[in-house]
A = this chain, B = another copy of it.
Amino acid sequence: MIPSPLNDFELTCPVPISDYPVVLLAHGGGGTLTHQLIERMFLPTFKNPLLEARHDGALLPAQPGKCAFTTDSYVVKPLFFPGGDIGKLAVCGTVNDLAMCGARPAFLSAAFIIEEGLPMAMLWQVVLSMQAAAQQAGVQIVTGDTKVVDRGKGDQLFITTAGVGIIAPEQVISPQRVQPGDAILLSGDLGRHGMAIMAAREGLDFESVIESDCAPLTDLVFSLLDAGIEVHCLRDLTRGGLASALVEIARSSGHHIHVDEKAIPVREDVRGACEILGLDPLYVANEGRFVAFVAASDAERALAILRAQQAGDAAVIIGQVQSTRDHSVTMRSVIGANRIVDMISGEQLPRIC
Protein backbone atom coordinates (compact mmCIF):
# COMPACT_ATOMS: atom_id res chain seq x y z
CA MET A 1 0.00 0.00 0.00
CA ILE A 2 2.62 2.50 1.03
CA PRO A 3 5.50 2.55 -1.44
CA SER A 4 8.85 1.60 0.07
CA PRO A 5 10.45 4.82 1.22
CA LEU A 6 13.86 3.60 0.08
CA ASN A 7 13.42 3.54 -3.67
CA ASP A 8 13.89 7.18 -4.53
CA PHE A 9 15.78 8.44 -1.54
CA GLU A 10 18.82 6.19 -1.61
CA LEU A 11 19.89 7.87 -4.85
CA THR A 12 19.77 11.45 -3.60
CA CYS A 13 20.86 10.90 0.01
CA PRO A 14 23.70 13.35 0.75
CA VAL A 15 25.35 10.94 3.21
CA PRO A 16 26.78 8.17 1.00
CA ILE A 17 24.52 5.12 1.41
CA SER A 18 27.37 2.86 0.33
CA ASP A 19 29.43 3.92 3.36
CA TYR A 20 26.58 4.40 5.81
CA PRO A 21 23.48 2.43 4.77
CA VAL A 22 22.10 2.82 8.29
CA VAL A 23 22.51 5.25 11.18
CA LEU A 24 25.23 4.19 13.63
CA LEU A 25 25.63 5.01 17.31
CA ALA A 26 28.57 7.22 16.32
CA HIS A 27 26.24 9.45 14.29
CA GLY A 28 24.98 10.69 17.65
CA GLY A 29 28.35 10.81 19.39
CA GLY A 30 29.22 14.43 18.66
CA GLY A 31 32.30 13.46 16.62
CA THR A 32 33.10 13.28 12.92
CA LEU A 33 30.01 11.31 11.87
CA THR A 34 27.68 13.67 13.72
CA HIS A 35 29.34 16.58 11.95
CA GLN A 36 28.94 14.83 8.60
CA LEU A 37 25.22 14.34 9.22
CA ILE A 38 24.80 17.99 10.19
CA GLU A 39 26.95 19.47 7.43
CA ARG A 40 25.68 17.28 4.60
CA MET A 41 22.08 16.55 5.47
CA PHE A 42 20.61 19.00 7.98
CA LEU A 43 22.30 22.32 7.16
CA PRO A 44 21.90 22.30 3.36
CA THR A 45 18.29 21.05 3.56
CA PHE A 46 16.99 23.31 6.34
CA LYS A 47 19.19 26.10 4.89
CA ASN A 48 18.79 29.47 6.63
CA PRO A 49 21.19 32.06 8.10
CA LEU A 50 20.25 31.40 11.74
CA LEU A 51 20.99 27.69 11.45
CA GLU A 52 24.14 28.25 9.45
CA ALA A 53 25.67 30.28 12.29
CA ARG A 54 26.26 26.83 13.86
CA HIS A 55 25.93 28.12 17.40
CA ASP A 56 24.71 25.89 20.20
CA GLY A 57 21.62 28.07 20.07
CA ALA A 58 20.05 30.18 17.33
CA LEU A 59 19.98 33.94 17.87
CA LEU A 60 16.45 35.15 17.12
CA PRO A 61 15.92 38.76 16.09
CA ALA A 62 14.11 41.03 18.57
CA GLN A 63 10.30 40.93 18.26
CA PRO A 64 7.92 43.79 18.97
CA GLY A 65 5.25 41.77 20.77
CA LYS A 66 4.62 38.64 22.74
CA CYS A 67 5.83 35.26 21.52
CA ALA A 68 4.16 31.89 21.79
CA PHE A 69 6.40 28.94 22.71
CA THR A 70 5.34 25.30 22.40
CA THR A 71 6.73 21.78 22.07
CA ASP A 72 5.60 18.30 21.09
CA SER A 73 7.29 14.94 20.73
CA TYR A 74 6.23 12.82 17.77
CA VAL A 75 6.29 9.04 18.13
CA VAL A 76 3.83 8.09 15.40
CA LYS A 77 3.85 4.50 14.21
CA PRO A 78 4.40 3.70 11.37
CA LEU A 79 6.78 6.51 10.35
CA PHE A 80 5.22 6.73 6.88
CA PHE A 81 1.50 6.73 6.13
CA PRO A 82 -0.75 7.88 3.27
CA GLY A 83 -0.72 11.67 3.24
CA GLY A 84 2.36 12.19 5.38
CA ASP A 85 5.14 10.95 7.60
CA ILE A 86 6.64 11.69 11.01
CA GLY A 87 8.62 14.63 9.59
CA LYS A 88 5.62 16.43 8.10
CA LEU A 89 3.70 15.72 11.30
CA ALA A 90 6.50 17.07 13.52
CA VAL A 91 6.48 20.38 11.65
CA CYS A 92 2.70 20.72 11.15
CA GLY A 93 1.79 19.68 14.69
CA THR A 94 3.96 22.31 16.34
CA VAL A 95 3.20 25.00 13.75
CA ASN A 96 -0.51 24.39 14.33
CA ASP A 97 -0.15 24.67 18.11
CA LEU A 98 1.37 28.12 17.55
CA ALA A 99 -1.31 29.16 15.07
CA MET A 100 -3.99 28.16 17.60
CA CYS A 101 -2.54 30.79 19.96
CA GLY A 102 -2.92 33.37 17.18
CA ALA A 103 0.86 33.31 16.76
CA ARG A 104 2.49 33.43 13.35
CA PRO A 105 4.90 30.44 13.36
CA ALA A 106 8.46 31.71 12.85
CA PHE A 107 11.17 29.44 14.28
CA LEU A 108 11.36 25.71 14.96
CA SER A 109 13.88 23.50 16.71
CA ALA A 110 14.17 19.83 15.75
CA ALA A 111 15.62 17.15 18.03
CA PHE A 112 16.03 13.63 16.63
CA ILE A 113 16.22 10.46 18.72
CA ILE A 114 17.25 7.80 16.25
CA GLU A 115 17.40 4.06 16.85
CA GLU A 116 20.71 2.62 15.67
CA GLY A 117 20.09 0.86 12.36
CA LEU A 118 17.53 3.27 10.91
CA PRO A 119 18.07 3.22 7.13
CA MET A 120 19.91 6.44 6.24
CA ALA A 121 17.64 6.97 3.22
CA MET A 122 14.62 6.88 5.51
CA LEU A 123 16.08 9.64 7.67
CA TRP A 124 16.74 11.60 4.48
CA GLN A 125 13.13 11.21 3.35
CA VAL A 126 11.91 12.49 6.71
CA VAL A 127 14.29 15.47 6.64
CA LEU A 128 13.12 16.44 3.14
CA SER A 129 9.54 16.14 4.25
CA MET A 130 10.20 18.39 7.27
CA GLN A 131 11.70 21.06 5.04
CA ALA A 132 8.79 20.91 2.59
CA ALA A 133 6.31 21.33 5.45
CA ALA A 134 8.38 24.12 7.02
CA GLN A 135 8.43 25.97 3.73
CA GLN A 136 4.69 25.58 3.29
CA ALA A 137 4.08 26.83 6.83
CA GLY A 138 6.52 29.73 6.51
CA VAL A 139 8.83 28.67 9.36
CA GLN A 140 12.59 28.17 9.60
CA ILE A 141 14.20 25.22 11.37
CA VAL A 142 16.93 27.14 13.18
CA THR A 143 18.49 24.77 15.72
CA GLY A 144 18.53 21.07 16.47
CA ASP A 145 20.07 18.03 18.08
CA THR A 146 20.78 14.42 17.12
CA LYS A 147 20.96 11.51 19.52
CA VAL A 148 21.28 7.84 18.61
CA VAL A 149 20.19 5.07 20.98
CA ASP A 150 21.19 1.42 20.74
CA ARG A 151 19.14 -1.09 18.78
CA GLY A 152 16.01 -2.17 20.63
CA LYS A 153 16.04 0.94 22.84
CA GLY A 154 13.96 3.14 20.55
CA ASP A 155 11.55 2.62 17.65
CA GLN A 156 13.29 3.82 14.50
CA LEU A 157 12.76 7.55 15.00
CA PHE A 158 11.25 10.00 17.46
CA ILE A 159 11.25 13.73 16.68
CA THR A 160 10.66 16.56 19.13
CA THR A 161 10.04 20.01 17.74
CA ALA A 162 9.64 23.23 19.67
CA GLY A 163 8.33 26.38 18.07
CA VAL A 164 8.36 30.11 18.60
CA GLY A 165 5.63 32.22 17.00
CA ILE A 166 5.01 35.94 16.91
CA ILE A 167 1.76 37.37 18.26
CA ALA A 168 0.42 40.68 17.00
CA PRO A 169 0.32 43.12 19.95
CA GLU A 170 -3.48 43.47 20.03
CA GLN A 171 -4.24 39.76 19.47
CA VAL A 172 -5.85 37.68 22.26
CA ILE A 173 -7.09 34.20 21.34
CA SER A 174 -8.22 32.19 24.34
CA PRO A 175 -11.10 30.07 25.68
CA GLN A 176 -11.76 32.90 28.14
CA ARG A 177 -12.86 35.12 25.24
CA VAL A 178 -15.59 32.70 24.11
CA GLN A 179 -19.04 34.26 24.61
CA PRO A 180 -22.69 33.34 24.12
CA GLY A 181 -23.73 33.68 20.50
CA ASP A 182 -20.28 32.85 19.09
CA ALA A 183 -20.49 30.76 15.95
CA ILE A 184 -18.39 27.58 15.84
CA LEU A 185 -16.69 26.95 12.51
CA LEU A 186 -15.06 23.65 11.58
CA SER A 187 -12.40 23.88 8.84
CA GLY A 188 -13.06 20.54 7.09
CA ASP A 189 -14.02 16.88 7.31
CA LEU A 190 -13.09 14.76 10.33
CA GLY A 191 -11.21 11.56 11.11
CA ARG A 192 -8.81 11.11 8.22
CA HIS A 193 -5.49 11.25 10.11
CA GLY A 194 -6.53 8.66 12.68
CA MET A 195 -7.97 6.31 10.07
CA ALA A 196 -4.93 6.69 7.79
CA ILE A 197 -2.62 5.67 10.65
CA MET A 198 -4.84 2.77 11.70
CA ALA A 199 -5.08 1.46 8.15
CA ALA A 200 -1.31 1.72 7.65
CA ARG A 201 -0.51 0.15 11.01
CA GLU A 202 -2.93 -2.73 10.86
CA GLY A 203 -2.54 -3.33 7.13
CA LEU A 204 -6.25 -2.72 6.61
CA ASP A 205 -7.29 -2.48 3.00
CA PHE A 206 -10.32 -0.28 2.52
CA GLU A 207 -11.84 0.32 -0.90
CA SER A 208 -10.16 3.71 -1.17
CA VAL A 209 -6.88 4.85 0.40
CA ILE A 210 -7.64 7.22 3.27
CA GLU A 211 -5.02 9.97 3.31
CA SER A 212 -4.14 11.88 6.46
CA ASP A 213 -5.31 15.48 6.56
CA CYS A 214 -1.94 16.46 8.07
CA ALA A 215 -1.21 20.06 6.97
CA PRO A 216 -0.08 23.41 8.34
CA LEU A 217 -3.04 25.59 9.31
CA THR A 218 -1.16 28.87 9.19
CA ASP A 219 -2.72 30.20 5.99
CA LEU A 220 -6.29 29.43 7.01
CA VAL A 221 -5.88 30.95 10.46
CA PHE A 222 -4.17 34.12 9.25
CA SER A 223 -6.65 34.60 6.43
CA LEU A 224 -9.24 35.05 9.20
CA LEU A 225 -7.08 37.21 11.47
CA ASP A 226 -5.72 39.38 8.66
CA ALA A 227 -9.27 40.04 7.44
CA GLY A 228 -10.15 41.41 10.86
CA ILE A 229 -12.56 38.60 11.75
CA GLU A 230 -13.28 38.76 15.49
CA VAL A 231 -11.80 35.35 16.41
CA HIS A 232 -12.23 34.47 20.08
CA CYS A 233 -10.76 30.99 20.29
CA LEU A 234 -9.02 28.46 18.04
CA ARG A 235 -8.32 24.79 18.69
CA ASP A 236 -6.84 22.10 16.47
CA LEU A 237 -8.50 18.70 16.64
CA THR A 238 -5.63 16.34 17.39
CA ARG A 239 -5.64 13.63 20.10
CA GLY A 240 -9.22 13.24 21.30
CA GLY A 241 -10.68 14.81 18.17
CA LEU A 242 -13.49 17.35 17.89
CA ALA A 243 -15.37 16.06 20.93
CA SER A 244 -12.47 16.52 23.37
CA ALA A 245 -11.64 19.96 21.97
CA LEU A 246 -15.22 21.17 22.47
CA VAL A 247 -15.41 19.71 25.98
CA GLU A 248 -12.15 21.43 26.97
CA ILE A 249 -13.28 24.79 25.60
CA ALA A 250 -16.70 24.52 27.26
CA ARG A 251 -15.01 23.80 30.59
CA SER A 252 -12.42 26.59 30.27
CA SER A 253 -14.88 29.19 29.04
CA GLY A 254 -17.70 28.20 31.39
CA HIS A 255 -20.23 28.25 28.55
CA HIS A 256 -22.56 25.67 27.06
CA ILE A 257 -21.69 24.57 23.53
CA HIS A 258 -24.28 23.13 21.18
CA VAL A 259 -23.44 21.52 17.84
CA ASP A 260 -25.42 19.86 15.07
CA GLU A 261 -24.20 16.39 14.04
CA LYS A 262 -25.75 16.76 10.57
CA ALA A 263 -23.47 19.72 9.86
CA ILE A 264 -20.24 17.84 10.70
CA PRO A 265 -18.59 16.48 7.54
CA VAL A 266 -17.17 12.96 7.66
CA ARG A 267 -16.22 11.25 4.42
CA GLU A 268 -18.13 8.05 3.65
CA ASP A 269 -14.96 5.90 3.55
CA VAL A 270 -13.82 7.33 6.90
CA ARG A 271 -17.23 6.71 8.44
CA GLY A 272 -17.17 3.15 7.14
CA ALA A 273 -13.67 2.49 8.49
CA CYS A 274 -14.69 3.93 11.87
CA GLU A 275 -17.73 1.66 11.98
CA ILE A 276 -15.66 -1.42 11.23
CA LEU A 277 -13.21 -0.52 14.01
CA GLY A 278 -15.87 0.60 16.47
CA LEU A 279 -14.60 4.18 16.62
CA ASP A 280 -16.53 7.44 16.73
CA PRO A 281 -15.23 9.99 14.18
CA LEU A 282 -15.90 12.76 16.70
CA TYR A 283 -13.08 11.38 18.86
CA VAL A 284 -10.61 10.45 16.12
CA ALA A 285 -7.44 12.56 15.77
CA ASN A 286 -7.00 15.01 12.90
CA GLU A 287 -3.78 16.87 12.05
CA GLY A 288 -5.10 19.54 9.70
CA ARG A 289 -8.47 20.56 11.14
CA PHE A 290 -9.46 23.22 13.64
CA VAL A 291 -12.49 24.90 15.14
CA ALA A 292 -12.79 28.68 15.30
CA PHE A 293 -15.09 30.48 17.72
CA VAL A 294 -15.97 33.79 16.06
CA ALA A 295 -18.35 36.63 16.85
CA ALA A 296 -21.82 35.85 15.42
CA SER A 297 -21.75 38.97 13.26
CA ASP A 298 -18.57 37.75 11.53
CA ALA A 299 -19.64 34.11 11.06
CA GLU A 300 -20.75 34.18 7.44
CA ARG A 301 -17.80 36.31 6.34
CA ALA A 302 -15.39 33.95 8.16
CA LEU A 303 -16.97 30.95 6.47
CA ALA A 304 -16.63 32.56 3.04
CA ILE A 305 -12.94 33.32 3.69
CA LEU A 306 -12.21 29.72 4.66
CA ARG A 307 -14.19 28.26 1.76
CA ALA A 308 -12.34 30.43 -0.73
CA GLN A 309 -9.17 28.41 -0.01
CA GLN A 310 -8.60 24.83 -1.07
CA ALA A 311 -7.62 23.73 2.46
CA GLY A 312 -10.87 25.17 3.80
CA ASP A 313 -13.31 24.44 0.98
CA ALA A 314 -15.28 22.04 3.17
CA ALA A 315 -15.54 24.46 6.11
CA VAL A 316 -18.90 24.60 7.88
CA ILE A 317 -20.64 26.24 10.80
CA ILE A 318 -21.36 23.39 13.19
CA GLY A 319 -22.91 25.14 16.16
CA GLN A 320 -23.12 27.98 18.58
CA VAL A 321 -22.19 28.98 22.11
CA GLN A 322 -25.31 29.13 24.30
CA SER A 323 -26.08 31.60 27.05
CA THR A 324 -26.60 28.94 29.74
CA ARG A 325 -23.48 28.71 31.92
CA ASP A 326 -23.48 24.95 32.47
CA HIS A 327 -20.19 24.40 30.56
CA SER A 328 -21.40 21.21 28.89
CA VAL A 329 -21.40 20.18 25.24
CA THR A 330 -24.58 18.92 23.61
CA MET A 331 -25.15 17.65 20.12
CA ARG A 332 -28.33 17.35 18.09
CA SER A 333 -27.93 13.94 16.48
CA VAL A 334 -28.88 13.09 12.89
CA ILE A 335 -32.14 11.58 14.13
CA GLY A 336 -32.96 14.78 16.00
CA ALA A 337 -32.28 13.82 19.61
CA ASN A 338 -29.99 15.87 21.85
CA ARG A 339 -27.14 14.05 23.56
CA ILE A 340 -24.31 15.09 25.87
CA VAL A 341 -20.79 14.91 24.41
CA ASP A 342 -18.11 14.01 26.96
CA MET A 343 -14.37 13.46 27.02
CA ILE A 344 -13.12 9.98 26.28
CA SER A 345 -11.62 8.28 29.33
CA GLY A 346 -9.16 5.77 27.95
CA GLU A 347 -6.76 5.53 25.07
CA GLN A 348 -8.44 5.43 21.69
CA LEU A 349 -5.47 5.10 19.36
CA PRO A 350 -1.95 4.98 20.81
CA ARG A 351 0.97 6.57 18.97
CA ILE A 352 -1.19 8.50 16.56
CA CYS A 353 1.15 11.51 16.59
What is A's interface to B at a CB cutoff of 8 Å? 25-26, 28-33, 54-75, 97-98, 100-101, 103, 107, 109-113, 142-145, 147-150, 152-155, 158, 160, 162-165, 167, 174, 235-236, 238-240, 244, 252, 343-348, 350-351
- Known contacts: A29-B348, A62-B65, A142-B69. The answer to whether A164 contacts B167 by CB under 8 A is no
| Chain B min CB distance to A97 (Å) | 4
Are B63 and A69 within 8 A (Cβ)?
no
Interfacial chain B residues near A55, Cβ < 8 Å: 68, 101, 174
Residue of B nearest to A25 (CB): B350
Interfacial chain B residues near A238, Cβ < 8 Å: 30
Select A350's contact among B28, B59, B100, B347, beta carbons within 8 Å: B28
| Chain B min CB distance to A282 (Å) | 14
Are A165 and B57 within 8 A (Cβ)?
yes
Are B111 and A73 within 8 A (Cβ)?
yes
Are A29 and B149 within 8 A (Cβ)?
no
Complex-state Cα separation, A16 to B162, whole angstroms: 31
Are A60 and B68 within 8 A (Cβ)?
yes
Complex-state Cα separation, A193 to B158, whole angstroms: 26
Complex-state Cα separation, A252 to B52, whole angstroms: 12
| Chain B min CB distance to A346 (Å) | 6
Are A343 and B103 within 8 A (Cβ)?
no
Are A66 and B72 within 8 A (Cβ)?
no
| Chain B min CB distance to A162 (Å) | 3
Complex-state Cα separation, A142 to B59, whole angstroms: 20
Select A71's contact among B67, B158, B160, B346, beta carbons within 8 Å: B160
Residue of B nearest to A110 (CB): B71
Interfacial chain B residues near A63, Cβ < 8 Å: 62-63, 67
Complex-state Cα separation, A199 to B238, whole angstroms: 43
Residue of B nearest to A76 (CB): B147
Complex-state Cα separation, A323 to B73, whole angstroms: 46
With A154-B154, A160-B160 given, name 8 new contacts (CB 8 A): A30-B244, A32-B343, A54-B252, A59-B101, A60-B67, A75-B149, A152-B152, A162-B162
Are B70 and A31 within 8 A (Cβ)?
no
Interfacial chain B residues near A147, Cβ < 8 Å: 73-75, 158, 351
| Chain B min CB distance to A158 (Å) | 6
Complex-state Cα separation, A160 to B167, whole angstroms: 25
Are B69 and A29 within 8 A (Cβ)?
no
| Chain B min CB distance to A240 (Å) | 5
Complex-state Cα separation, A350 to B116, whole angstroms: 11
| Chain B min CB distance to A293 (Å) | 15
| Chain B min CB distance to A33 (Å) | 8
Interfacial chain B residues near A67, Cβ < 8 Å: 59-60, 62-63, 67, 164
